[in-house]
Amino acid sequence: MKTPELIFNKVNRFLELFLITIFTLLVLDVLFQVFSRYILGGSFSWTEEFARFALIWMTIVGAAYLNAKKEHLSMDFLYQKFSEPNKRKASILVEVFIFLFALMVMVIGGINLVYTTLHLEQLSGTLRIPLGYIYAILPFSGLLIMCYSIYHISSVFSKKIHS
């Protein structure tokens, strides 16, 4: 196995474990909220906020993971009609657009958001966590998506992936 594929597989395995951990914590948090509300007769205010942050992280990291696996929802009716050379060109074009979106919106916009919220010292309402730490997942996932796009483009050029 070549080094890029080894790194690709290791990062994907780490993301799988990370997503499983976040989802497990999210389920436990919601179950605890239900238990405390209906059995103990009162609820803890931090469980709702934790669930919200866990869902945000799971969604954003999950988007990067799905990008790696090329499992995002796509409409490929027209794409399937292309010849093989045009499929390759379309695949590269799509990956370039994904790369540019991740760069401009997720990385640059995300870094700006993290910097602003940390500079303004904004804290979450209940857990009192600096919101910049919560939002840091955006540029991190954007960088992952950019790396995956480069990997997918290189795969198209090396003729490993035709579609």
d(CA 146, CA 62): 14
d(CA 34, CA 42): 10
- The pLDDT assigned to 157 comes to 87
- The pLDDT assigned to 74 comes to 81
What are the tokens at 161?
A: 């992936």
d(CA 47, CA 27): 11
The model's pLDDT over 30-49, given as tens digits with 9 standing for 90+, comes to 999 999 999 998 888 899 99
Ranges of residues in the chain with a pLDDT under 70 are 1, 160-163
pLDDT mean across residues, the chain: 93
The model's pLDDT over 65-78, given as tens digits with 9 standing for 90+, comes to 999 999 888 888 88
- The pLDDT assigned to 141 comes to 97
d(CA 156, CA 163): 8
- The pLDDT assigned to 2 comes to 82
Under 8 Å between Cβ of 39 and 85: no
- The pLDDT assigned to 159 comes to 76
